[in-house]
Chains A and B, each alone.
Chain A
Amino acid sequence: MNKRFKKLMAMTIVMAMVIATALMGCGKKDDGGKSTGTVTDGDDITQGKTEFKFISAMADAERTEIIDFVLDQLKEKYPNVTFVNESGEDYNNKAKLAFSSGSGYALVFTDDLGLTALREADYLLELSEYIAERGWEDRQLEGATDFYNQRTPGEKYSVGMNYAPVVVYYNKEIFSELNLSIPTTIDEYENALKIATENGYIGAENCKDNINGWYIQSLVQNKAPFEDVLQWYYLENSSDNMKTAFIESSEIVKKWSDAGYFRKDYEGIDYGDVPTLFAQGNTAMSLDGNWFLYEYENTGLDVGVFAFPGVTDSSEDNYIINPVDTAFAIGKQVDDTQLAVALDFIDLMLSPETAELWLEKGSIPSLDYDFDDLAASPLTQELLAAIQDTKSGFYLDNVRPGFLDVFIKEMQLFLTGEQSAEDMWNRIDEYWHG
């Protein structure tokens, strides 16, 4: 009897496992939203609610606060909509997986590479009509909307929102002590590095990956005719001017590195540690993004900011890395309700109130509003003033998926003397050609 009972129990467990496996494979059909375990009927979850699923790179506390500010207003207007925010790390891969598996997102807010991949796969809604209807382009600074839509003349698939400048943070006390003024040319910048180093300071912070790349990209966009830069960035043409600009710019950075202007052994330092190392107070300058403005502002040092002078003559246009970094796009699969919500979402994100919040949190909106009365931090105001007279260039490493990794590796081989600048260019040019 005992044996029979055991067999029966075992059979029951086995059947339970089989049923559970079968049920897991037959879950709710996902249609623009993640499974909530509730029963659905087409787009509508029970209780008549529509799911609005979106994704972005905005997962840090400050920017989540901004999203929540917008969501609160949308929830009031759309009580029958459930909002699902899947923002966070690896947002591009999540978006790719979601769209290629058929579910997608109603709204994505991501970078040029991510949006280009989705657009080329025909997952995004063409937005020209809505941009015109809602006046979004008029709210933007000149060129901001065009930035992301240059590859599709006559069509617009995304709406940008904020710039992401790479600037130079500097220690005002060191500058004052060494009688240094803000460099306005590349020679003056090199001189500042030299003087700081000769006086026992570190000329500039650096790390194993990003920063040297930004130096090179900033210099390239001032050395090559900008038309060539545009053609290179949009994969139209790789000219000899770009080759020369890359080689010359790389050699300048190598000269600085070999001269010891950067922190000793910076090749082993993680990018995330740079503001902390700067905060030690022994470094004159640090080339870094606006996203770390809060960290530099709170180092306890008297920190200022200026635009990286990539020019040889201060009267020339100075191009800095300052693209419209992320933009909104709407999934093609949205229904009418989801479309209405998406359009209002973007509308609210581009509003003066939200733009002010962005600015207060250290981001730089690409919107043409008057922010003079805004209580932004002193360093933010200094940054805005610093980049006011500059021209916006690109993150050249966004030219192709995977280019950044290749660029960093080839640049590392060049800077350590393993290969020439020409070899480096040949490798990255090969990758550019796909």
Chain B
Amino acid sequence: MLKTKLRKKGTGFGVIPYVFVFPGMLLFFLIAVVPIFQTIVLSFTDWNGVTALDKINFIGIDNYKTIISGQEFMAALKNNIIWAVVSVTIPIAIGLIQASVIVNSNVKFKNLFQLLLFLPQILSSMIMSIMWLAIYDPASGVLNAVLEVIGLDSLVRPWLGDKDTAIYALLVMSIWMAYGFNTIIYCTAIRAVDQTMYEAATLDGANSLQAFFRITIPSISKTTTTLLLLSLIGAFKVFDVVYQMTKGGPGYYTYVISYYLYQTAFTSNKIGLGCAIAVLLSILVFVVSRVFLRLRKED
């Protein structure tokens, strides 16, 4: 019997890793953790953002009561839910189909397509808002002009000024901005799928559609749920598109929680109330994410 001498390696406390991590953690603590606590504390005050901090008053949960009982929050929440449903599902579906075509077909210039699809990610939301404002402009915009030329005058409308179309007009822009990124991610994921499974499926007589649904989609499910989660969080945080294009209008038809927060805190001089909205939004995003992750785990 061989006796194997096992030599335990020294497991002394290493300081070096913590030294390297410390500056980043310090920065994170100062610019993220401290403001989070400040926000929570301020949400229980009536601070207007103008008076000195030593003159603010604690008002308990009055801010939260104001938010819950007000029609603005409900209108904003409804719009955020619509945004979540549409902006989460459609860009992912488009991204998946496009990636599948790019990877599995014989289309040429695949890299070029991927680059072009990724371009909206590179451009700032300000530039894209200006571009889409020009497209949707009812007086001189491209969209209405094209509709008139092809004889669809009945569809001409003020896309961003019509309560029935405003939020969907913004969502079209949001989908256009998002699906390119999803396509790139899916391309990578699909390329990582074991090719032998496709070979085996072909031998068993499966067609390309069956292979797509029975092999591709299950194999990239983790990528899909990650993208879904990121999109969901993004849908509740949306602000820049709304601010730049509609300011929450017409009426409250594109009013979202982040815009409500901005208006309350910085235009209405109600920082305390704005902080309460921020806390509620954070809780909402947290709950939605946790539910989603729990469902994913169960799957």
Interface residues of A (CB under 8 A from B): 7, 10-11, 14, 17-18, 21, 25, 93, 96-97, 99-100, 102, 117-118, 120-121, 123, 208-209, 263-270, 273, 277, 400-402, 405, 408-410, 412-413, 416, 418
Q: A117-B269, A405-B267 are in contact. List 18 more A-B contacts (CB 8 A).
A: A7-B16, A14-B22, A18-B23, A117-B48, A118-B50, A264-B138, A265-B139, A265-B157, A267-B161, A268-B137, A268-B159, A269-B137, A269-B138, A269-B158, A401-B267, A402-B263, A402-B269, A412-B251
Complexed CA–CA distance, A25 and B53 (Å):
20
Distance in angstroms from A7 CB to nearest chain B CB is 7
Distance in angstroms from A313 CB to nearest chain B CB is 35
The 5 A-B residue pairs with the shortest CB-CB distance, nearest first, are A268-B158, A402-B268, A267-B161, A268-B161, A265-B138
Q: Quick check: is B234 within 8 A (CB to CB) of the other chain?
A: no
Taking a contact as CB atoms under 8 Å apart, the answer to whether B158 and A267 are in contact is: yes
- Count contacts between A and B, CB distance < 8 Å: 116
Interface residues of B (CB under 8 A from A): 16, 19-20, 22-23, 26-27, 30, 48-53, 133, 136-139, 144, 156-163, 247-252, 255, 263-264, 266-270
Distance in angstroms from B272 CB to nearest chain A CB is 13
Distance in angstroms from B241 CB to nearest chain A CB is 15
Taking a contact as CB atoms under 8 Å apart, the answer to whether B158 and A266 are in contact is: yes
Taking a contact as CB atoms under 8 Å apart, the answer to whether A269 and B161 are in contact is: yes
Taking a contact as CB atoms under 8 Å apart, the answer to whether A96 and B49 are in contact is: yes
Complexed CA–CA distance, A97 and B136 (Å):
36
Interface of B is mostly: loop
Taking a contact as CB atoms under 8 Å apart, the answer to whether B19 and A100 are in contact is: no
Q: Which residues of A contact B268 (CB under 8 A)?
A: 400-402, 405
- 6 CB contacts below 8 A, A to B, read A18-B22, A21-B23, A117-B269, A266-B138, A270-B137, A412-B249
Q: Which residues of A contact B137 (CB under 8 A)?
A: 268-270, 273
Q: Which residues of A contact B20 (CB under 8 A)?
A: 10, 14
Complexed CA–CA distance, A100 and B266 (Å):
13
Distance in angstroms from A266 CB to nearest chain B CB is 7
Complexed CA–CA distance, A117 and B264 (Å):
15
Complexed CA–CA distance, A150 and B23 (Å):
53
Complexed CA–CA distance, A113 and B150 (Å):
49
Q: Which of B50, B251, B264, B267 contacts A100 (CB 8 A)?
A: B50
Complexed CA–CA distance, A74 and B270 (Å):
38
Interface centre among A7, A25, A117 (most CB of B within 10 A): A117
Taking a contact as CB atoms under 8 Å apart, the answer to whether B249 and A409 are in contact is: yes
Q: Which residues of B contact A17 (CB under 8 A)?
A: 23
Taking a contact as CB atoms under 8 Å apart, the answer to whether A14 and B163 are in contact is: no
Taking a contact as CB atoms under 8 Å apart, the answer to whether B249 and A416 are in contact is: no
Q: Which residues of B contact A96 (CB under 8 A)?
A: 49-50, 269
Identify the closest chain B residue to A408 (Cβ). B249
Distance in angstroms from A139 CB to nearest chain B CB is 30
Complexed CA–CA distance, A411 and B160 (Å):
16
Q: Which of A209, A402, A409, A412 contacts B264 (CB 8 A)?
A: A402
Complexed CA–CA distance, A269 and B48 (Å):
33
Q: A11-B19, A14-B22, A402-B267 are contacts. A409–B159 as well, Cβ < 8 Å?
A: no
Taking a contact as CB atoms under 8 Å apart, the answer to whether A93 and B158 are in contact is: no
Q: Which residues of A contact B22 (CB under 8 A)?
A: 14, 18
